[in-house]
Structure 1
């Protein structure tokens, strides 16, 4: 393994740029970029400052100067590229969904375990200092017994029937869009902070614009614009989450309230520099700075003093830094792995099944071997 980790990025869109910034912030170098075409790879390599443009994703994975493969391509390509990268002995960072089927996600998680590879899925909201503070407060029992877990994740980037891209196409993005794209982030964050796991759920999905066409303009969109989910957990809590990609004015609002018998904890990703702690006597807004947070875990991810908000890119940088720390042989706390990607795939499939049947669906807590027929999600 090289002293300076060398990375390759598959994908030339928004997320590829985010990953490139994070690679450099983590002290890595960007060896190569691959896209859908050699021309798109050449443009991206010039824009992102990569040493090379790869002829294809497969060429990038096979390069000797790539230690870590970052997969930021359309969803239906994830499983193929991740499997090839694992076989090549590379560390792998794969954008969610890890795969568009539970079977493929389970196979990748199993391969990662058998190879002993460092793998990760960017559930980056775990890396906000305020979120780590909330998790530590829960662990030491400050909120009491958590009994009501609720929130939402709202965006507006598709709040027009004319807006489209590859994510609205089930053939490229998978059968679930709003939940599979952003709902899984909220569920991962809830389970990460509270330590509770969803055991069953009931869901309703809907479309705001039935007339929206896919990115090729050939057929109406079949994936959901929003979802409403009720759930129960293994520790007796109940909860709900509302997910939407068509809520005007909400750019990227992931919000939660985790309510306990002694205190409530609330976080808003659009105002990430505070953690709200509510009690019957008084409520407090804890500033998310290294000089104001009260727990070691919170302060570890606070790079700046209070009053200097850290945002999405900062959290992504912290995530990639922890991935690279793991590649070097350390074990950072709370790193999301392919097992977490598999968990998200199971929850997504449960959402689809419940929305179609109208009933409650159990969500397995154990990662049993995939033995069901291939089910697209």
Structure 2
């Protein structure tokens, strides 16, 4: 694994606990972790259960005892590491968003396709049992033709103007702000549940344009010296919102912000079809609200399903009904698919192709925000030199 902070902890926990809950044909062995700070990566390796550590990710690529490279670095490092791993014949799991641009994402996709390695992108929210069950209801036609999706992803961790200028606020490192960091998840869930985007129109804004500069940043929980007066420019969005039309005729409304006070991780969606509706909220991730139009008059309304029964996807591997699971289990569920893919030689979804499409939707919204016009997703590929044959 390359990197060891927030996502490094989440992925490490999943590797450590996967075989406790699931039987897969291959099981992960935590051979080595890489990070530039030797003291930090050594401590992380000891705490999280990695057998060895390296201070240069290239050493992981060179090692014969490593088959899978897991990329949990800041976004600007994804493309170089992924392409090097693919050329060395290593399977790859990469955090989202896949890259900084559509061109980079396409290069990564071409590299894994050329080498034939197994690849996935870590959109872990797909693997919440309630979300998987929502997908099952939609596939079975229980909601009929889908008309609407409205999705929000609201956080508040940078609401304080004195929160420092961490890497997630610097375009050259992260690509975009709330747009690529969290709205990418909403886009992926919409593709998973509703279908492909056709066109979008959006807007993006930055409300706090300068923040304190710090020598090191700890991510979502970073702090700046109250007496530190040197400020740096925020070069990404604080908020992103857009409307969308889907290929199948559905319409959608999406919003993401990291300045919505009181929302710690408000990843939510509602989908409306001709026969019913579903609602989901990550902060109550085990619960799915479902409404069917053919319910008896007088008893109609949303019912709440606790998706912890054995028949709910992945839930049967954990605890008895009603004994809820948490955020960390979404990564375990994703790793199950990754291990099965490695065993059988295929790339489970979401994979790098999904990552490229997600990147194209992100790019289309950003282009729309700049031009104040509707943008077709297909035009992004044409505008970028018709890079991708989808």
Tell whether the structures are fold-level matches, with TM greater than 0.5.
yes
CA displacement at 1:266 relative to structure 2 = 0.9
What is the correspondence of 1:234-273 to structure 2 with a 5 Å cutoff? 234-273=247-286
1:103/1:372 contact within 8 Å kept? no
In structure 2, the CA distance between the partners of 1:233 and 1:131, relative to structure 1 (3 Å rule), is: same
In structure 1, runs of 5+ residues without a counterpart are: 1-8
* Contact kept? 2:143, 2:274, Cα under 8 Å: yes
Match of 1:180 in 2: 180
Over 3 Å counting, the alpha-carbon distance change for 1:87 and 1:218 in structure 2 is farther
For residues 98-148 of structure 1, give each alpha carbon's deviation from its aligned partner in whole angstroms, at most 9, with x where no partner exists: 111111100111111121111111011110111111111111110111111
Q: Deviations over 1:159-216 (max 9, x none)?
A: 1112232111112111x1111011010111111012x211100111112322334655
Q: Does 1:361 align with 2:375?
A: yes
- Give the secondary structure class of the aligned counterpart of 2:151: strand
Give yes or no for contact 1:38–1:56 (8 Å, CA) kept in 2: no
CA distance in 2, matches of 1:43, 1:258: 44
Give the CA deviation at 1:372: 6.6
Query: Normalising by the residue count of structure 1, what TM-score does the alignment of the two structures yield?
Result: 0.89
- The TM-score with structure 2 as length reference comes to 0.86
> How far apart, in 1, do the equivalents of 2:366 and 2:383 lie?
21
Q: CA deviation at 1:43?
A: 2.1
Q: Which moved more, 1:317-326 or 1:213-222?
A: 213-222
Pairwise CA RMSD: 2.2
Q: Which whole-Å CA distance do the structure 2 matches of 1:214 and 1:180 have between them?
A: 22
Residues of 1 paired with 2:304 and 2:120: CA distance? 32
Equivalent residue number for residue 71 of structure 2: 71
- The separation in 1 between residues aligned to 2:135 and 2:380, in whole angstroms, is 22
1:152-167 → structure 2 map (5 Å cutoff): 152-164=152-164, 165-167=166-168
Corresponding residue SS for 1:318: helix
- Kindly indicate whether the alpha-carbon contact (under 8 Å) linking 2:178 and 2:240 is maintained by their aligned counterparts in 1: yes
The match for 2:198 is: 199
Partner of 1:347: 361
**2:159/2:260 contact within 8 Å kept:** yes
- Aligned pair count reads 358
Classify the secondary structure of the residue corresponding to 2:237.
Answer: coil
